[in-house]
Amino acid sequence: MKCVTCGKEIEKNDFFIVKSVGITCYDCFSKISNNSHSYDSETKVSTVLYVTSAIIFLIGLILGIILGNQYQVIQVNPADVTGLSSTGQFNVALMFCIWIVSFISGMFFIALGKIVSLLQKIKNNE
């Protein structure tokens, strides 16, 4: 972030906050921003989105394995009276479907976190 008045590149330790003014430049005391949390807001929102994506990945992985074992493959058996019997095979197709959906959802949240992070950096540089 640059100071508009003196043109100095402002780092995290090169400013101070005056309660009535907001963030001011340490050298020329000119007002930089009304938002006293401009550095923190970038990390909070994007971190929440990144953690949400990690939780989605983890839940999708575990849920895919559990449901793949729970809903086993049913095959037609002509010798059986009912015509259907459970073979006890793991349902790989269901597991992969759940994994794919959770992967896409998790990547969506990662992309949102990256977009928020980039927009906050653009906002801080102006």
Confidence of residue 37 (pLDDT cuts 50, 70, 90): very low
pTM over 0.85: no
For residues 30 and 105, the model is more confident at: 105
Distance CA 106, CA 57 (A): 6
Looking at the predicted structure, is the pLDDT value of residue 34 above 60?
A: no
pLDDT in tens, 48-92: 999 999 999 999 999 999 988 887 766 666 666 565 555 667 888
Long-range contacts of 105-108 (CB under 8 A, 24+ apart): 105/53, 105/56, 105/60, 106/53, 106/54, 106/56, 106/57, 106/60, 107/53, 108/53
Can you give the pLDDT at residue 121?
83
Q: Is 117 helix (H, G, I), strand (E, B) or coil?
A: helix
